[in-house]
Structure 1
Amino acid sequence: MQPFALLHRDGADHVEVLTGDVLTVRTLDEIPLVKDRPTLAVIPYRQIAERGFDCVDDGVPLECLLVDSRTTAPLADFPAGPLRLRPGGFDLSDEEYGEIVETVLRDEIGHGEGANFVIHRVYQATVDGDPVAAARAAFGRLLAAEQGTYWTFLVHTGSRTLVGATPERHVSVADGITMMNPISGTFRHGSGRLIDFLADPKEVEELYMVLDEELKMMATVAEHGGQVAGPYLKQMAHLTHTEYLLAGRGSLDVREVLRETMFAPTVTGSPIENACRVIARHERRGRRYYAGVLALLDHDDQGRQSLDAPILIRTAEITPDGTLRVPVGATLVRHSTAAGEVAETHTKAAGILAALGASGHAAAPVRPEAESPEIRAALAARNDHLARFWLDSREPGALTVPALAGRTALIVDGEDTFTAMLAHQLKALGLRVTVVPWQSAVARTPIEPDLVVVGPGPGDPDDLADPKMAAMRDLVADLLAARRPVLGVCLGHEILAVLLGLRMHRRDSPYQGLARDVEVFGRERRVGFYSSFAAVADADRIDSPCGPVEISRDPADGTVHALRGHGFAGVQFHPESVLSRDGVAILAELLPIVTAGAISPATNG
């Protein structure tokens, strides 16, 4: 059978029918991008290695359908039919999956390795009859029964068949605008009240964290970062999710956009690089196409590149021998429980199988709760304490601080691309910014910026056996010795605090994706934390090897929120996070003093 794809995109009254030849390529750069001939790429999770990130390499290929025929057909041409399966089950038992959840919560989130991680399991069964015919019947059922999908699709490459209804755009490029669509939080219709789901702290924080993570990606691929719209409800036939929409103008090759956004935090975690390490450590098997993307690469009428790439979730993979795989994942955050995440994977798998019409998984449709004024108010209230920097449009130069205009800043990335968001904030304040990885010997280069920002990253700041921690500590020590202005953010702040003589401790409960109102140099500020460690001080001022230091600390336990001295400062929180309502204001007040090297510890800001 000739390779083909059936695509129904959100709001369309027809199905796109694509046929052509299939080409297997090694890298995203090799995906053909030819005018007048679209390419549909089926991108597996293993391509994350192109970013230098860890993964279990299962050898699953990156296949490209080179489209030579593109037609449309009415929805009625694809009648619904059941997907008949022999009894199956999960590749990991509930007990095995629950043990992995508990281990990740304790050893990864609890030890500062990240804010959230997605761990998957796979429901496996066998299809009765011809696999492609079964997939076509399931595709028709998805068209008829599902709602709220971004793409409903069937892709047959000859060696595999994928059929699904994904709710989530990963990234798109059209008319020079790049868009992303973080979706998180899962409410099963009929399981309770939607208003209670919207008030659940776990669900709220989970969406904020993936919003932050996709803003990091947008900060890399869009010229001025991403502007946030939402939140909205994404209502499907059996589930409702919450979502934001991000948009920004960009000019990168669409294959580069795909590379820089591999892969969505909603199916990996954050920070993304360490999330990939955690996934490889604990899953210990390949993900095949789960968490990857379908990507339709094309050109518009003006010859500009275009891209439409949904995430490969809510998807069944069927091999020629009839083996069916339905991978599902749960997002683990500090509020998670093993029982809750096990239940979520069952809910997701049952929802997919019911939507596909798998026998034994039929489910009566439940009418979603209407968007009442109460629901709309609950959604709008989620933005009350978020950073307007990412939600509002503004004129160029509106935030420029005269004392910073034209000065240079070098940001050292500790393996957390929050640094890309931080760069946009510093540029908005008037600085000229360069971002480099921690591996660069920054202090020993001839570059002498007006400010060095030692940025965030995962890990234990006291673990000097970790090459990153040892190198970043040496860097900060060199900067202090040379009296070069330095700002530490999160991990950078922790390293700075240790060198100034403060002790570190691991928090009893991780501050991962947590917004708090805290005092920062005499003023109450709303800021977002992503940390499992904190410095502790017994007084508001100390004498250090670098002179007197003023400290803003929690009166209850002495944990340090911020510190400053002559030519240096540190903040435990993330001023760049969407959770930090007052982040830009803090930077605007702090940085002119740091770069002037004229802080007076006796003076409150």
Structure 2
Amino acid sequence: MTGPAATADLIHRLAADPDASFALIARAGASGAVEDVEVLTGPVLDVELLADIPLHGDDGAAREVLALVPYRQVRERGFEAHDDGAPLRTLLVEAHERLPLHEAMAVLPTDPIPLSAAGFDIPDEQYAQIVRRVISDEIGRGEGANFVIRRDYVAGVDASPRAAALTWFRALLEHERGAYWTFAIVTPGHVAVGASPEAHVTAVAGAAGEPSTVTMNPISGTFRHPAGGATVDTLATFLTDTKETEELFMVVDEELKMMSAVCSDGGRITGPHLKEMSRLTHTEYMLRGTSRLDPRDILRETMFAPTVTGSPMQNACAVIRRHELTPRGYYSGVAALFTPREDGGHDLDAPILIRTAYLVDGRLRVPAGATLVRHSDPQGEVSETHGKAAGVLGAIGAVPRAAAAAAPVSADDPDSPTPPTESRTRAALADDPRIAELLASRNARLAPFWLEPQGTDPGPFAGTGALVIDAEDRFTTMLAHQLRHLGLEVRIAHWSEATDAEVDAARLVVTGPGPGDPRDAASPRISRMREIVGRRLATAAPLLAVCLSHQILSDRLGIGLAPLASPHQGLQKTVDVFGEPASIGFYNTFTARVLPGVARLTPSETRVGAVGTVEIAADPSTGDVYALRGRGFASVQGHLESILSRDGMHTLERLVDHALA
């Protein structure tokens, strides 16, 4: 049986069967519009690790699996998290049907689901205080560039969980737009219904024998549609806002770290684009690369999106644990659909679990977080959580629904047949000449290395071995990728695992960036990085030190360290690097500092006489040290691997060449 009657029968059975586990998923087709609703049914199995997700049956045949991956799963990467016991839940798909969208909409329930005692669990002013503490105590102490701290909208629900799931799913389809996935997932004791705008990671097979194409979709920067609809002027103001622009660049950098870890070609950036939803418009980029990894390994190496955690990732998880009052459950995790391929492998499609309502034991929970950066305004971040939650809450009737979202209309076109209060297509937003120009202009600031196809010619240092020391900032994966393009044979070692013998044997050691105060002698990580830098200096063995390690090197040489008056997190500056101007991205809270005008230190002025004369590239007015070089070493305060470093590759080659010489 097919047609409307079959669709109605299936929906009614899902609503009536108390033991059925199922997922409803609406994904945009090639046209950009949702054409059907996918219905996945089957038994549920909870597993401990991503590697345990059963992609093959007992007979060895590949099978389809939908996994709900909770935030606590970051422990697989050794990161901190409140452990709430949320299971890594898999739906083992036995049936996968497609229902025409109009047929599903006709039979999904529409009766409102009443809520009680509704409101945010953390009051606005208390959340604003948390924002202030994170900016001062975390970003202000060098713990990272940005952090996402959430709060939850909560309410009581006196209705059947299945009825609520089906009702809210239909409401999101009707009232929200621009979602990557609109979904309802119903499993024993748990309901998740959402409209996620963001694909975290996908992996799609190429031709036979070819690697999979991996895509990530960092979305950041939030434009809250004003009352009465947006205009080109209001959207343009958003697109030129420094905080919103840098916020997007920072998350692109963070996701490129992940891409560089899972893709042999590191990843290439396209965009930026607009992502328009009912109440919000975001900016986004697309990152693409190729990989031969198992999709479960790709998922593990990309847990989780910096747009919902922060950067650097490991420290962001520690900050979240310090400042969030309750565990996250599935918020900021992913729903991962593993689809079998003819070759026995699987494609992966994994949206982020945001803009999602959870229903457990009669309680509704809608988490929403704001990205906190050095420019953040506490009240603005409070408003951002309201705006992000409102898309879901408005659709399900918890707050007033937005009017038909009004897209910008050019003020320069008074004869436009579309009044400003009426909706226009998403294409019209980006195609307005002024908006298109503002979007395109962002790429003029970025590194060509990550925007253009990367060459395959042997680099100038072909065959030279390099050991990169990871100080808990995975910028090292991007740095290693760039070093490989310069011809070096690179291995990355965690600071706690790199032995003295390995450090001594390496032709070139690159000590990487990391969070924290370089003066913190009580930190085992800082102490070990000081030991590694000291070993290389003592023998003039080739060393390149980056960011935190540049500060440690400076201190070893006798150059003083100090906190910056305002952190340089995601800041692009053009500085002089030994006679050449270089546009470089900076992520630092501390700096090495000399007296303005000092350009070198003699052996008698350093604590390590063996290094000879030390050349210094410093700010002429402040004395902030941007780069150092001496016998067998070079260093840089900025991140030459960042997308913000337009001159990164050239400067990296210069510094490596000096260290090796």
2:511 maps to 1:454: yes
2:577 maps to 1:551: no
2:599 corresponds, among 540, 544, 548, to 540
Of structures 1 and 2, the larger Rg is shown by 2
Deviation string, structure 1 residues 433-453 (Cα, Å, up to 9, x no partner): 000001124433376222100
2:316: which partner in 1? 275
1:376 corresponds, among 411, 432, 436, to 436
Per the normalisation by structure 2, the TM-score is 0.88
The within-5 A match list for 1:148-547 is 148-175=178-205, 176-190=212-226, 193-319=234-360, 321-356=361-396, 358-369=397-408, 370-371=429-430, 372-397=432-457, 400-401=459-460, 404-445=461-502, 448-538=505-595, 539-543=598-602, 544=606, 545=609, 546-547=611-612
SS at match of 1:383: helix
Distance 1:452 1:36 in 2: 43
Contact 2:641 2:648 in 1 (8 A): yes
Distance 2:490 2:639 in 1: 18
- Pairwise CA distance, 1:322: 2.1
- Pairwise CA distance, 1:302: 3.4
2:65 maps to 1:26: no
- In the alignment of these two chains, the number of paired residues is 591
Distance 1:262 1:440 in 2: 22
Distance 1:54 1:36 in 2: 33
Contact 1:56 1:284 in 2 (8 A): no
Contact 1:83 1:135 in 2 (8 A): no
- Pairwise CA distance, 1:365: 2.1
Amino acid at match of 1:344: E
State the superposition RMSD in angstroms: 1.3
2:79 maps to 1:53: yes
Per the normalisation by structure 1, the TM-score is 0.96
Amino acid at match of 1:178: V
Deviation string, structure 1 residues 114-153 (Cα, Å, up to 9, x no partner): 0000000000002232221122111112112222111000
1:602: which partner in 2? none
The within-5 A match list for 1:137-148 is 137-148=167-178
562-571 or 433-442, larger mean C-alpha shift: 433-442
2:420: which partner in 1? none
Distance 1:515 1:355 in 2: 40
Distance 1:261 1:86 in 2: 38
Contact 1:296 1:307 in 2 (8 A): yes
CA separation of 1:441/1:359 partners in 2, compared to 1, >3 Å: closer, same or farther?
Answer: closer
Instruction: Point out 4+ residue stretches in structure 1 off by more than 4 angstroms.
Output: none
245-254 or 443-452, larger mean C-alpha shift: 443-452
For structure 2, which runs of at least 5 residues remain unmatched after alignment?
1-17, 206-211, 409-428
Identity of aligned residues (%): 52
2:625: which partner in 1? 560
2:94: which partner in 1? 68
- Pairwise CA distance, 1:161: 0.5
Contact 2:176 2:391 in 1 (8 A): no
- Pairwise CA distance, 1:360: 3.9
1:4: which partner in 2? 22
Distance 2:45 2:185 in 1: 14
CA separation of 1:68/1:592 partners in 2, compared to 1, >3 Å: closer, same or farther?
Answer: same
Contact 2:279 2:390 in 1 (8 A): no
The within-5 A match list for 1:573-588 is 573-588=638-653
SS at match of 2:317: helix
Contact 1:271 1:416 in 2 (8 A): yes
Deviation string, structure 1 residues 444-487 (Cα, Å, up to 9, x no partner): 33762221000000010011011111111011111111221000
Distance 1:383 1:360 in 2: 38
The within-5 A match list for 1:116-131 is 116-131=146-161
Amino acid at match of 2:340: H
- Pairwise CA distance, 1:36: 4.6
Distance 2:113 2:523 in 1: 51
Contact 2:503 2:532 in 1 (8 A): no
- Pairwise CA distance, 1:37: 2.2
